[in-house]
């Protein structure tokens, strides 16, 4: 049976279309609900007829019904659709929020961060999920999952990014179902003594207990942080240097418990529990045992959304293996996606969900084809080819997504995967044994030393691969159109290589032409753009003078500016970047752009644009006498109190004022200037 004929694929695609439509369009929840009821009645009426036309009508109605179902599920996930939503309260004023912590996030330098569920607003029942930021206070301990607090504060919307192509944290939170946040200091937070522990709370407590037990043994600092990430899904202790090594080596997925870990664990359990098949109803007993053990691993790992998602997916895979029908695995995977999205539609927009399914689908589809392509007789060569095939299939599956989200490609990914992944099952099994013995206070020193050595060796191999910087391609421009067309190219290329038919070759050619056509169009558009950008960065001034596919960067502090510049260069597909000292006067077309620094010197000529930087001490009223700039800009290098005074003065004089800390980067389109 062809993949296109699988009912599961068609229904899941319709559900996905509905979720996407419902997420981006503000559709009242009553509309998809009524439409779904109408379609169900119509389907019952059409189902009675036996004509060929009625069959096609029925299929169209089913597709429309599942699109409506997708819209309905995503709209129900929006806080505004809840009967006791916190949005019904007056958000502009401060309230007393009773909240329960559902997730502890990695803290910043200034605050501890939590996802919390609202239980009450001013002692009135309410619900909804928000982000809570509590200023760091050495005297106050960090809270944990299931802790209940009363927080006095005001709800704020999450700020959008202030620079072009900067990571959009607001959009990220929106895709988690979070639309507002509260910022509070410790004086505004009252912990409640009672605590009703949920299953997630018990899982987090167990994970903390395991970490405490492991810390009592002589593991190295870096080794212990990797063990926590590898076995418990706790990555906060991993240093930035180690994380970058794994990322540049193409092995960062090892540090995040995902489908890879659960899949390897499933295969390991399939092998270890195979003798159970000899018992009466042994195959069913084996399936139940495997699923229970997988969910036990998820519990130990803290029941985070990523691990719950992965275990759910591989529970379906375990069932497919139980049926022992290879053609059923793909179908089962699709059904697992369908049911996950039915209950958690926002998962669709999470990178981990997309990459996990892309990798597993690619392995299920491509691995058998790669094995058919070459079957070496030598055992060692055959095993190496099998491992290489799995790595290539998974990498092809996630490559367009990886380029789209991360804009880099580690060319030596197959080296790190061949060196680490074959032993990952052994490493996971040993690690689970270490955890069990540590909990029983029976962990011998030689096991600690041996396992520490294994993790140290794994880090060393990954570090060596990551040092080959010539093979790590970074800052690769890749947009959503390129991502979609790249997937089309991969799909039809595989079809051509496996079954070379005319239609497959034609579609492959069309996909390549679409990809090349879009790249060419984008390149022509890029060469025609000219702009001057005043970027926002605290304590720094950054000017980006863009001309075609080249940009001149004029920063106050070069090193601090590089991240912001990198985001802009990748997003705008810039080919050439050059750094120059920051000047006071610039000529843009027929206009003048004056940069006033901390000295506060008056420009020698009347400027069209005035950029104020580094908080000059001056009488701003007197400074503006005799000047009529078209726009005054203040960037992030200024004190906020100064900016506030300048803004009031400009409003009084009716001069347009732009503060990058509020309104984001200031962009002058030079092509639009007369």
pLDDT digits (tens, 9 = 90+) for 230-270: 888 888 788 888 888 888 887 777 777 777 788 888 888 88
Highest mean pLDDT among 41-45, 303-307, 322-326, 377-381: 41-45
- Report the alpha-carbon distance of residue 86 to residue 89 in Å, rounded: 6
Report residue 600's pLDDT band, with 50, 70 and 90 as the boundaries. Answer: confident
- What is the overall mean pLDDT for the chain? 87
Pairing of strands 189-191, 409-410: unpaired
Question: Edge-to-edge strand order for the sheet containing 550-555?
Answer: 576-579, 550-555, 540-547, 530-537, 666-669
Q: Are 392 and 490 in contact (CB under 8 A)?
A: no
What is the DSSP-derived secondary structure letter of residue 324? T
Pairing of strands 576-579, 550-555: parallel
Q: Which residues face 537 on adjacent strands? A: 540
Report residue 1's pLDDT band, with 50, 70 and 90 as the boundaries. Answer: very low
- Report the alpha-carbon distance of residue 438 to residue 58 in Å, rounded: 59
Give me the pLDDT at residue 674, please: 57
- Report the alpha-carbon distance of residue 64 to residue 66 in Å, rounded: 5
Find the DSSP H helices in 280-345.
282-300, 305-323, 328-343
For the chain, counts of helices (H) and of strands (E):
22, 20
- 68 or 590: whose pLDDT is higher? 68
Residue 667 has pLDDT above 70, yes or no: yes
Residue 3 has pLDDT above 70, yes or no: no
What is the DSSP-derived secondary structure letter of residue 538? T
Give me the pLDDT at residue 629, please: 87
Pairing of strands 180-184, 129-135: parallel
Residue 536 has pLDDT above 90, yes or no: yes
For the chain, percent of residues with pLDDT exceeding 70: 98
In this predicted model, what pLDDT tens digit does every residue of 4-37 receive, in sequence order?
457 888 899 999 999 999 999 888 888 999 999 9
Least confident residue range of 148-152, 341-345, 618-622:
618-622
C-alpha of 380 from chain center: 38
Give me the pLDDT at residue 550, please: 92
Residue 132 has pLDDT above 50, yes or no: yes
Q: Are 610 and 650 in contact (CB under 8 A)?
A: no
Give me the pLDDT at residue 510, please: 95
HSE, side-chain direction, 13 A CA sphere, residue 151: 27
In this predicted model, what pLDDT tens digit does every residue of 175-228 receive, in sequence order?
888 999 999 988 889 888 877 788 888 888 888 898 899 999 988 888 898 888
Residue 327 has pLDDT above 60, yes or no: no
- Class of domain 86-196 (CATH, top level): mainly beta
Q: Which residues face 133 on adjacent strands? A: 113, 183
Give me the pLDDT at residue 326, please: 54
**By three-state DSSP, how is residue 442 classified?**
coil
Closest CA to 181 of 146, 161, 160, 154: 154
Give me the pLDDT at residue 288, please: 92
Residue 129 has pLDDT above 50, yes or no: yes
In this predicted model, what pLDDT tens digit does every residue of 148-158 receive, in sequence order?
999 998 988 88
Residue 312: count of CB within 10 angstroms of its CB: 19
Give me the pLDDT at residue 506, please: 94
CA distances from 45 to 52, 219, 592, 660 (A): 15, 68, 72, 60
Q: Are 200 and 303 in contact (CB under 8 A)?
A: yes
Structure tokens at 50: 């036996």
In this predicted model, what pLDDT tens digit does every residue of 384-432 receive, in sequence order?
787 778 778 888 888 899 899 988 888 777 677 777 777 777 888 888 8
Give me the pLDDT at residue 322, please: 80
What is the average pLDDT across 466-474? Answer: 80
Give me the pLDDT at residue 16, please: 95
Q: Which residues face 152 on adjacent strands? A: 96
- 613 or 274: whose pLDDT is higher? 613
């Amino acid at each position: 049976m062809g993949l296109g004929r699988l009912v599961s694929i068609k229904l899941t695609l319709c559900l996905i279309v509905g979720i996407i439509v419902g997420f981006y369009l503000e559709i009242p929840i009553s509309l998809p609900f009524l439409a779904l009821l109408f379609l169900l009645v119509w389907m019952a009426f059409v189902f009675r007829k036996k004509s060929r036309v009625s069959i096609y009508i029925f299929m169209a109605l089913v597709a429309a019904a599942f699109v409506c179902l997708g819209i309905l599920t995503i709209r129900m996930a929006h806080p505004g659709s809840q009967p006791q939503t916190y949005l019904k309260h007056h958000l502009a004023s401060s309230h007393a929020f009773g909240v329960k912590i559902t997730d502890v996030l990695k803290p910043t330098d200034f605050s501890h961060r939590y996802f919390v569920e609202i239980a009450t607003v001013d002692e009135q029942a309410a619900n909804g999920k928000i982000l809570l930021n509590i200023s760091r206070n050495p005297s106050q301990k960090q809270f944990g999952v299931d802790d209940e607090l009363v927080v006095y504060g005001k709800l704020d919307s999450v700020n959008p990014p202030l620079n072009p192509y900067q990571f959009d944290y607001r959009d990220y939170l929106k895709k988690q179902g979070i639309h507002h946040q509260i910022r509070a200091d410790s004086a505004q937070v009252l912990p409640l003594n009672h605590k009703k522990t949920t299953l997630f709370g018990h899982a987090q407590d167990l994970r903390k207990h395991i970490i405490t037990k492991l810390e009592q043994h002589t593991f190295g600092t870096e080794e212990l942080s990797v063990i926590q990430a590898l076995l418990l899904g706790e990555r906060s202790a991993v240093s930035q240097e180690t994380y970058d090594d794994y990322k540049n080596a193409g092995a960062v997925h090892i540090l995040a418990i995902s489908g890879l870990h659960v899949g390897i664990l499933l295969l390991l359990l399939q092998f270890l529990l195979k003798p159970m098949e000899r018992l009466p109803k042994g195959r069913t007993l084996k399936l139940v045992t495997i699923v229970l053990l997988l969910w036990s691993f998820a519990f130990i790992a803290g029941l985070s959304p990523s691990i719950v998602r992965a275990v759910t997916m591989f529970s379906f895979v375990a069932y497919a293996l139980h049926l022992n029908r290879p053609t059923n695995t793909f179908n089962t995977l699709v059904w697992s996606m369908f049911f996950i999205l039915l209950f958690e539609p926002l998962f669709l927009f999470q990178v981990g969900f997309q990459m996990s399914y892309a990798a597993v689908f690619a392995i299920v589809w491509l691995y058998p084809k790669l094995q058919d392509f070459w079957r070496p007789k030598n055992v060692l060569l055959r095993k190496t080819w099998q491992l290489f095939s799995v790595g290539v299939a998974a990498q092809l599956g996630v490559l367009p997504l990886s380029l789209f989200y991360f804009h880099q490609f580690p060319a030596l990914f197959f080296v790190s995967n061949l060196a680490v992944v074959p032993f990952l099952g052994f490493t996971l099994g040993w690690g689970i044994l270490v955890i069990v013995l540590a909990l029983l206070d029976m962990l011998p020193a030689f096991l600690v030393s041996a396992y520490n050595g294994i993790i140290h060796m794994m880090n060393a191999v990954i570090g060596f691969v990551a040092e080959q910087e010539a093979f790590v391609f970074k800052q690769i421009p890749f947009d959503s159109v390129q991502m979609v067309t790249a997937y089309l190219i991969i799909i039809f290329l595989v079809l051509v290589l496996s079954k070379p038919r005319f239609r497959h070759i034609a579609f492959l050619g069309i996909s390549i032409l679409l990809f090349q056509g879009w790249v060419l169009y984008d390149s022509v558009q890029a060469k025609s753009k000219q702009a001057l950008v005043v970027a926002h960065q605290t304590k720094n001034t950054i000017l980006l003078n863009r001309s075609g596919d080249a940009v001149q960067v004029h920063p106050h502090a070069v090193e601090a500016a590089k991240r912001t510049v990198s985001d802009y260069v990748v997003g705008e597909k810039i080919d050439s970047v050059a750094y120059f000292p920051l000047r006071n006067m610039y000529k843009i077309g027929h206009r003048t752009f004056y940069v006033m620094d901390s000295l506060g010197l008056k420009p020698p000529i009347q400027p069209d644009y005035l950029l104020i930087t580094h908080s000059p001490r001056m009488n701003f009223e007197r400074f503006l006498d005799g000047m009529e700039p078209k726009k005054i800009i203040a960037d992030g290098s200024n004190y906020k109190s100064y900016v506030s005074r300048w803004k009031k003065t400009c409003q009084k004089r009716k001069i347009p004022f732009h503060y990058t800390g509020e309104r984001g980067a200031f962009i002058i389109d030079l092509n639009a200037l007369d």
